[in-house]
Amino acid sequence: MDVYTTCFTYPRRSRHIQTPASTFDFPGQELRANDSFPATQRLRHVKSNLSLDVASAADGEAIQKLVMTAMQVHGCHVSYLLADQGRAWNFYVTGSYQQVMLTRGMILKECPIQNRAAIKVTRSEILDYPHTQPVLKPEVRRRLDEIASDTLAHIAVVNSPLALYNRTPPDGISTSAGWNGLEPERVCELVVTGCGDAVDLARVRLLVMLDELSGLHAEFCEIDHKLHAIVAGRKRSVLQSIQEETATNIYFPSPLQGLVGSEVDANGAPLNGPSRNANIIWITGEFFGVQRARDMLFQVSVNKSKSVISRDTAILPRKLDWMVTDHADDLKTVMADNSTFIQFPPLGSSTSLITVYGDHRVNIQRTIRSIMQMACQFYVASFWLLPVQYNVLLPPATLNPSQVTNLLKQISVNTGAEIVFKSMCFEMHGLEHEVKQAVNMVMELEMIKSFHHEIRFQIELANEHREFISGKKNGKINKIMQSTNVKIKFETFNDHNFLIDIAGTDGSVLQGLSLLQEELPAEISFHVPEAYHKRIIGVGGRSIQRIMKKYGVYVKFSNAEEFAALGGYNDNDDNVIARTPAKNAINLDNLKQSVMELVNPKDKDYVNETVSIPRRYHRTLLGEKSIFIRDIETKTNSHVRFPDKEIASDVVTIFGPESQVQIAVTMLLEHVPFEADMAVPPSADLPRICASADFIAFVERVKRDFQVSIMPNIKSHASNGGAGSGAETPSEYTFKFRCQRSNSDFLITAKEMLEQFLMTHNVLVYPSPTAHTHKRGDSFAEAFPHFDSKVLSAAKTRGHESIDLGRSDVMGDRRLRLASSSPDVKALFNSTSYIYNLESHDDSQTGYMSGASQDYWTPLPPIGTGIANRTKQAEDALKRGSDSLLEAKIKEKISKPRSLQNRAQSLDLTYSLSRITETASRLPPPESPTNSTGDTGGNSSPSSVTAPSFPSVYGPGKSSVVGSQRAGHILDDETIQEVSRVISNLGL
């Protein structure tokens, strides 16, 4: 009996694996003393937060048990050792061919490789007292235990190092605000670990649980798993339309369920419960929406089942195993993109046939083509050992079995390839670099040099590339064979791919392989609107031929009919493909740029832009906000694609022209709510105040005026009466602010109004009694301490001057934000209505008493939208001014269009301001309109070594220049001319 030996490492090195240390331990994110989970809960629900040694020991026991079972069942010898720095296992299996293959399949399927998934959730969803003493809600604890027992997955609640929003929070929102500000919602992670299908099953069940906790109704329905991708449509378009119409979340099971993972539990009982049913689809949403979605899914499945067709194709068994274990996500993407289902044989079997199900021939063809392209990455090499001379009387030379054992293990561990030894032949299976490295290691062995040897490489390629590789009259192939003394042979494999065999007797075969690889096709595909095809191709194809000759690249444009027959290239939306030999691949991008130069910017360079939107808003955006999404897609010529519900991703993809996708992202975020929390110290009066009619009216006013909703969140436990129990009673007092992200500028205003409301009701907002005076840390406001305007607010509320205490802080901050975010800096100096609005004490009192404050509360348009709505303030400024020259200048500026005002001007005012200061110093000082308090920072002048950075209304003697007319002082002609000249230079 011929002995067949194989040695392989699993999981393979090419697979992306996190180190165990980085899987659960978040450096720098240690929970604070008042922010940690209770010890009992930590021990119970964070069982998977184990050290590397403990995890390796536990896995070692499971591996040993698996190996012993395999040897008993299949009668092979199996040994194993740790590989890849403890992140993988290397298995050595020897025996008869059939038994070895069965043992290999069993190890691949049931090897206890830990998979991991994380679901980001806000703490308030699953924790009580998330800000003070977080503890799992009893209902959540019960559900987590239930899901863990059903799916055999480990579920841990850990502190997340990631924010819910990975975009920059709005101004004034701090991630560590503490007692004195707003902070984004704190998040934690549900980390799921397990073997095989356990992670996918548990993740779906957890998402359904979170939906139910938020008040949604959940149901499941059963549809044949072969129809799931077909029902969902290409790129899940049909499924997204159902979710949009019914405002539901629909969770599909994994299409690869059952291929990996043990079929029995730890006690040997078969795993065939409801949670393992691959036909179950979960639906969550409002009750009637769920019923509608369920009926629609059944209706689509009935219609599609009548038109399902299938096709079989052959692939080498080891390539199938490699795809399922290493490229599961790519397989799922292929199935989702093409609305097909691929049925794979069991892992490790010698079956080479796969079946593709679909409802359209083009979709099936595209799926098979994608699978074949993936298979071309996997190489096979053979290294035959031949006797130096053949003698019938002498037995043939052989290798010592013990030498072969150590040799196979060493090569497999170092290269990552699977190494097989049978009948004096080494076989290497793996990626290109793995196979070439393994062949080199075998060639360098001393024991091999006593044999003649023949090396053979086998490459798989699509049939459409056959003529491309061979060249005219096989010119390319003949040249390689003559220069390297190798043999190259083409063999038909199946309807889609063919095999290339390269054979040689020494290292020249590696050189021949490298030369052949340089002739392999390198491709790039992209999207060009069909309206531009004729323009780019040119008359008789002259334009595109000129480009192709310049870069040495072949280009193919597909019209609507060809595109429909082909279904797109690498991506469903690609209708242009460029192909060139691999040695010239650098020119592919250059050719694409040359082609795209002939396309209008709004139609070219279709890209996928991603934006992070919290998962819990996806249902609302797809349902209630779908009309706005359609409007965004129409205006930006783009397409919004939401992630598959079952992967719990926050990333929304927008596909469209490069010049438009950022606009689409901005428009989409305007419909995404932003939530922030403000924690306040515990107060006995707070529950009573939040239930009062005054607070309800205040909340309604804030919501009406600023579109910001404020919701109190007051939780406390009654004391049990034990000694000292009152001090230990967990309690939490927070306010949740919610608004649209586009309206987030008002958050700070609403927060300050709430603080003012609470302080007027004698509720302590800040922990220290001396900290009740709020200091605004806005450097931009401090740069304009003396500009008493409605756009630029002072940093300190003028409570002692105005009857309306919240005046400058409430609305001024909003307009300050608008000013600071305006792209036109000169606009800050171009509005005369507020530069000359410096009021004395008497003016401010009489103005507000006469109802000017009501005019003030009228919202003003942002800077940059024109000055039409500011005419009332401008007229007031004209009434207060007494200089005819200034009046003429102001009227002229108001009457001019805004576009004529924003000319390029010099903002260096140092010389002109110094002249004004010198002139003003000769005038008698008036009474100061405001009294600076010194250390507040709001009313203090900006510090400068030489001259003020911005106009100062005070000279050295504290005299007012701009406001001196109202104070009764007469300016001489020289001063008037100087002021007029400066204003003219400023464009005022």
* Domain endpoint, select from 522, 546, 578: 522
Nearest to 283 by CA among 206, 198, 203, 211: 211
SS3 977: helix
Domain-embedded: residue 472: yes
Which DSSP state fits 863?
T
Q: How many domains does the chain have?
A: 4
pLDDT tens per residue across span 102-116: 999 999 988 888 889
Query: In sequence order, what are the residues at sequence separation of 6 or more whose Cβ sits closer than 8 angstroms to the Cβ of residue 817?
Result: 171, 745
State yes or no: pLDDT of 743 exceeds 90: no
SS3 804: coil
Domain co-membership, 506 together with 568: no
Domain-embedded: residue 628: yes
CA atoms within 13 A on the CB side of 349: 11
Give me 697's structure tokens.
Answer: 């009216």
pLDDT of residue 881: 46
pLDDT tens per residue across span 154-170: 999 988 765 444 445 55
Measured CA to CA, the distance from residue 500 to residue 461 in angstroms comes to 8
Torsion, Cα 116 119 124 129, to 10 degrees, reads 10
Domain co-membership, 451 together with 557: no
pLDDT, average across residues 760-775: 62
* Domain endpoint, select from 490, 522, 554: 522
pLDDT tens per residue across span 372-419: 989 999 999 999 988 766 655 555 567 777 778 889 999 999 999 999
More confident residue, 813 or 644: 644
Domain co-membership, 328 together with 357: yes
**Whole-number percent of the chain with pLDDT over 70:** 67
Query: Which of the residue ranges 190-194, 782-786, 832-836 would you say has the lowest mean pLDDT?
Result: 832-836
State yes or no: pLDDT of 965 exceeds 90: no
Domain-embedded: residue 326: yes
Domain co-membership, 402 together with 498: yes
pLDDT of residue 970: 54
* Domain endpoint, select from 570, 598, 626: 598
Give strand ranges (E) for 339-445: 341-343, 353-358, 378-386, 418-422, 425-431
Domain co-membership, 494 together with 549: no
Nearest to 860 by CA among 817, 900, 889, 829: 817
Domain-embedded: residue 842: no
Domain co-membership, 510 together with 583: no
Domain co-membership, 362 together with 382: no
Query: In sequence order, what are the residues at sequence separation of 6 or more whose Cβ sits closer than 8 angstroms to the Cβ of residue 306?
Result: none
Domain-embedded: residue 467: yes
Question: Which helix (DSSP H) or strand (DSSP E) does residue 782 occupy?
Answer: helix 779-782
pLDDT, average across residues 42-51: 34
- Predicted structure pTM score: 0.70
Domain co-membership, 438 together with 508: yes
Domain co-membership, 555 together with 460: no
Give me 558's structure tokens.
Answer: 């597909």
Domain-embedded: residue 364: yes
Domain co-membership, 646 together with 566: no
More confident residue, 882 or 890: 890
Angle (CA) 923-926-930 rounded to 5° is 135
pLDDT of residue 401: 74
Domain co-membership, 481 together with 384: yes
| Domain of 548, in residue numbers | 529-598
SS3 342: strand
Peptide bond into 112 cis (omega under 30): no
Domain-embedded: residue 571: yes
Domain-embedded: residue 244: no
pLDDT of residue 247: 93
Predicted confidence band of residue 701 (pLDDT cuts 50, 70, 90): very high
Domain co-membership, 545 together with 512: no
Q: Residue 340: which CATH number?
A: 3.30.1370.10
pLDDT of residue 262: 78
Query: In sequence order, what are the residues at sequence separation of 6 or more whose Cβ sits closer than 8 angstroms to the Cβ of residue 440?
Result: 510
Phi, psi of 848 (to 5 degrees): -75, -35
pLDDT tens per residue across span 564-605: 888 888 888 888 999 999 999 999 999 999 998 888 887 777
154-159 vs 425-431, strand pairing mode: unpaired
